[in-house]
Every structure is written in C-alpha cells, then in structure tokens.
C-alpha cells in the first residue's frame, strides 16, 4: 500500500512538472492593477468644511375640526349605532375628487368566539411503542427535547400537524409536547 501512495505522488509530481512547462518554465511577473471604477474619498479638515443648506418651505397643515360622536359622559351601549362623521378637511391640501370612499365595517367584540372542539378521533389514548421517545417543544427534530418518555407511557393525542407529528398530553402528569406519531401505538 505504501508503494502505491508513493507511486501516485510521483506520477502527480511528474504531471505537474510537464504541464507547467518543465525546464522552460518562466514565472509571469504580475502587477497589481488599480481599480479605476472606485473613487477615493478623503476627509476634509474641519476648517475647510462649509455647510450649504437650503431652507425648505413648510406648508402649515389645514385645521381639522374634531367633534365627539357621543357625549363623553354617556356610556357606549351599542357600537353599531354610533354616528360616523366623514366631514374632514383633506390633510394634503388638495381635493377629494379622486378619493374612493370605503365604508367602515364594525364587528362585535363582545360576541363569544366559536369554541375550538377537538374531533373525537384525535382525543385517543395511545402508548409509547419505542423503548425511549423524545418529547419536543415543537413538531420537528430541530426543537429542544422536553422529556424522554419510556416505553408504555400513556398519552392523549391533542393535535396533529399532518406531517407525522402529534401533540400529546401525558396522562399521569399532564405535561404536553410533540412526538413522532410513528413511535406511538395505533389508536
């Protein structure tokens, strides 16, 4: 094996010698060329600096009258019946000829949100099938390991991401995390 390595290096050295011109090799003289596309920036002395600043004319903003829609002391009972005023002066000093009006949409903030219900097939009790399974903070191996679950640990599937990962709750402790679905028993 040693003879093979030495022979390979000898062949490579000979090939390099021949390809570089052999005994007739003359190294090229390289000169650094200046890049003419770049401009040189120098710092002026503080006595040579002169600031030229043009004054800019500032137009005052037109006054806008703001009137409350409802008295400040009256409690607001129904948001949908509050009057909305569209009478304001344009802030840009132009005209309203090309402005398109968009009617406001009001939604109730007091209506209860629809309850999130888990489907009955997801809330199944499944056991850890492998000898030791890492429970993670998120549905991927890039997330940190929260705990290592031994084989036979009972879990309740809470959520699935559709890519082979399920969020589980450990029956005994209530701890939640993500595990690979293939490492659990069939539900």
Of 6-20, 57-71, 126-140, 166-180, least confident by mean pLDDT is 57-71
CA–CA separation, 127 vs 30, rounded Å? 72
Asked if residue 83 belongs to a domain, the reply is no
pLDDT at 64 over 70: no
| Rounded alpha-carbon distances, angstroms, from residue 78 to 27, 31, 66, 158 | 90, 83, 22, 39
Span 91-143, pLDDT tens digits:
555 565 655 566 666 565 555 555 444 454 556 889 999 899 999 999 999 99
Q: What is the pTM of this model?
A: 0.37
pLDDT at 169 over 60: yes
pLDDT at 170 over 90: yes
CATH code of the domain in which 152 resides: 2.30.30.40
Domain that holds residue 179: 125-183
pLDDT at 61 over 80: no
Residue 179's pLDDT is 95
Band (pLDDT 50/70/90 cuts) for residue 67 is low
Helices and strands in the chain, H and E counts: 1, 6
Asked if residue 171 belongs to a domain, the reply is yes
Domains held by the chain: number: 1
Asked if residue 147 belongs to a domain, the reply is yes
Where do runs of H (alpha helix) occur along the chain? 2-19
């Amino acid at each position: 094996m040693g003879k093979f390595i030495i022979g390979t290096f000898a062949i490579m050295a000979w090939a390099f010698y021949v390809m570089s011109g052999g005994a007739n090799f003359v190294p090229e003289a390289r000169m650094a060329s200046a890049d003419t596309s770049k401009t040189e920036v120098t710092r002026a002395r503080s006595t040579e600096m002169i600031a030229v600043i043009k004054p800019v004319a500032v137009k005052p903003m037109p006054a806008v009258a703001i009137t409350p829609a409802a008295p400040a002391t009256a409690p607001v009972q129904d948001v949908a019946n509050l009057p909305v005023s569209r009478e304001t002066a344009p802030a840009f000093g132009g005209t309203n000829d090309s402005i398109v009006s968009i009617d406001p949409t009001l939604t109730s903030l007091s209506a209860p949100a629809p309850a999130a219900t888990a489907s009955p097939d997801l809330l199944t009790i499944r056991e850890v099938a492998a000898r030791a399974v890492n429970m993670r903070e998120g549905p991927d191996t890039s997330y940190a390991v929260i705990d290592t679950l031994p084989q036979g640990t009972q879990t309740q599937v809470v959520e699935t991401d559709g890519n082979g990962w399920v969020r589980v709750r450990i029956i005994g402790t209530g701890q939640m995390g993500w595990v690979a679905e293939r490492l659990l028993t069939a539900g």
